[in-house]
Amino acid sequence: MFNYETLVDPLLRDIRKYTPEFSGMKAGDKVIDVCCGTGAQVLEYGRRGIVATGIDISPSMLKIATRNMSRQKAVNVSFQLADATNLPFPDGYFDYASISLGLHDKEKPIRYQIISEMKRVVKQDGALILIDFQVPLPRNVWAVSARAIEFLAGGSHYQGFRDYLANGGLEDILKNHGLREECRSNLKNGLLVATKAVNG
């Protein structure tokens, strides 16, 4: 099994720390991190006094997240097995919803449904925090490496990646969900983009 915790989490550590600052989150805010994986972003939120919930459809990822939560004696955080296209929370429950590198590997209908659900569970004056590949990808060694990793992942993952690039990435998502970009930041030498979006 691809060891996400060992190979990917260290590369994203700076982004995990940057995300709450970029987003304007403060202690006491309620945040959901969608497709949370090993829970690294959720645990970073918790360290800052943010009340964070991580959801993922993978029991093996959540097992790692829960283990890390216990090891770090994390407070204000919880993890739940759930489908991102059908979030088990009421409308307007959270102040923020975030997703990091969890959209590019899915086909357009699934991407769209995830964003619709994130919009639904966030308060009217809340925000969506989206971090994923810049489209078009920059012409640098980071992008070459990213393409190679996505190709090696293969199957539906790579199919989703190609579809994401072909359809314009986050720009397409913002436009088709009535989201207004409040601020944006380029990360990892332009390979990734972070956007804070609100209902337009």
pLDDT at 25: 98
How many domains does the chain contain in total? 1
What are the backbone dihedrals phi and psi of residue 116, each rounded to the nearest 5 degrees, phi first?
-60, -40
Alpha-carbon span 157 to 50, nearest angstrom: 31
23-73: pLDDT as tens digits: 999 999 999 999 999 999 999 999 999 999 999 999 999 999 999 999 999
Query: Cα torsion at 63, 81, 112, 77 (round to 10°)?
Result: -70
Range of the domain at 72: 4-199
Count the residues in the chain: 200
Mean pLDDT of the chain: 91
User: CA distances (Å), 35 to each of 95, 98, 130, 144, in order?
Assistant: 17, 9, 12, 25
Name 96's bridge partners: 31, 127
- Per-residue pLDDT for 192 more than 70? yes
Alpha-carbon span 167 to 170, nearest angstrom: 9
Alpha-carbon span 61 to 38, nearest angstrom: 5
CATH of the domain at 187: 3.40.50.150
DSSP, collapsed to helix, strand or coil, labels residue 44 as: helix
pLDDT-wise least confident of 27-31, 44-48, 140-144, 184-188: 140-144
Alpha-carbon span 54 to 33, nearest angstrom: 5
